[in-house]
Amino acid sequence: MSGDEFDTVAVKAAILDLALKRGALAAGVGDPALLEDAAPGQRPTDVLPGTKALIVLGGSAPRAGEWHSPRPELMETVGTADRMNTLGNSIARHIETTYGYYALNVPTATDHADKAFLDFTEAAVAAGVGARSLAGPALHPVHGFMYLAVILTSLPLPPDTPIADPVCPAPSCVEMWDSVGTTPCLSTCPIDAGGCLGGELSGGRVVSRRYDRDRCERRVYHYWVPGYQAALERALNEDDPDRRKMVLYGSFFTRTMWSITYSNVSQGQCFECMRVCPVGSEERALL
């Protein structure tokens, strides 16, 4: 079936409506050409040759109670990202079986050298599902931080446009910057004090951003593969049997093994920059 044989606007609406009914909070279609300036291997056509559209779905963020909990260990071990991955696979299969075009749900794991297959933030921006933020993740104007699924397809669909007005910084962040020279996310993890984030606002807009990826990775991937490998290497190289036992039976390694064997989630995030972000805070505040 060719794009000339059906109403692409109606098909797009039907696909996005299906995704929303199945649990997405936001859905949009982006022009893959907007990501063609990415590094070789990370462009949409590198992942799926002949890509004509990228469908971005957002949702499944931590629940309000999880945001409200003061225990960082809870946010590090709870996982809801798999729901979006499952939804992405479902929509990709629907496109192939219903319309006869290639569709691929982009893995959220990493490729060579721990690089992502695709820049999900830029995909969300292209599809109008989110906007860039000072802290890094794409933020939706209403829902704030969301997990994302990106489906690449050879099905020609009309693209949406990026969000016109910046979502970040929020008005309260601008007020805080003008008052004390920082924002909630920057003050939570200041790069000049051993944290991950830095940046500057001017005229109510983000004019510069600094991000220490290595520091963030060491904090974020507590229970992911790198953390497991590091702890196991430490235990294998430890000659003192008591110290080796402390590594293997300590809370870090125990939680890592639990997440792999029981919850099938060996990944964590510190979430602290998003916990204090005012964008989407109404979704996180209950009684």
What is the structure's pLDDT at 62?
86
Mean pLDDT of the chain: 89
Q: What is the mean pLDDT of residues 160-164?
A: 96
Per-residue pLDDT tens for 112-158?
767 889 999 999 999 999 999 999 999 999 999 999 999 999 999 99
> With bands split at pLDDT 50, 70 and 90, how would you rate the model's confidence at 37?
very high
Contacts of 47 (CB under 8 A, 6+ apart): 104, 106, 117, 118, 152
Q: What is the mean pLDDT of residues 61-81?
A: 80
Examine the pLDDT at 167 and tell me if it is beyond 70: yes
> With bands split at pLDDT 50, 70 and 90, how would you rate the model's confidence at 270?
confident
Per-residue pLDDT tens for 181-208?
999 999 999 999 999 999 999 999 999 9
List the single range of 14-28, 33-47, 65-79 with lowest mean pLDDT.
65-79
Domains of the chain by residue range: 3-153, 223-261
Picking from 129, 125, 127, 119, the residue whose alpha carbon sits closest to that of residue 46 is 119
Q: Are 29 and 158 in contact (CB under 8 A)?
A: yes
What is the structure's pLDDT at 51?
98
Examine the pLDDT at 266 and tell me if it is beyond 50: no
Picking from 41, 187, 35, the residue whose alpha carbon sits closest to that of residue 125 is 35
